[in-house]
Amino acid sequence: MKSTRVVTARLTERACQQRDADAALALLDQSMMLRHRRIALIRYLHAQQLGAPLQERHHQYVQKIAARLSTDALARIAGAARARLRR
């Protein structure tokens, strides 16, 4: 069985370098399962930019997180998501 880190690294490579929407969605699902907050928002924005088939559960998850963050924190997270797309 492959380690979670290896799987995550491969998905990240596919999502960032190959612009694979399915990989981006898998990373978001992984973040949701692990109850990530900020990285989940970054992955959500990345998946959205790649045209991944986001579901209502994805939108609800990030809305709950975003509601608890300041405008400045949201701006920093959006900047991090944009930086991932430029890699």
pLDDT of residue 1: 54
CA distance 41 to 79: 11
Sign of the C-alpha dihedral, residues 59, 14, 21, 81?
A: positive
73 pLDDT higher than 60: yes
Would you say the pTM of this structure is higher than 0.75? yes
Helix, strand, coil percentages (3-state) for the chain, rounded to 5, are 75, 0, 25
Domain boundaries defined on the chain: 4-86
Residue 87: pLDDT band with limits 50, 70, 90:
low
Sign of the C-alpha dihedral, residues 49, 53, 59, 65?
A: negative
Residues 19-70: tens digit of each pLDDT: 999 999 999 999 999 999 999 999 999 999 999 999 999 999 999 999 999 9
CA distance 26 to 6: 14
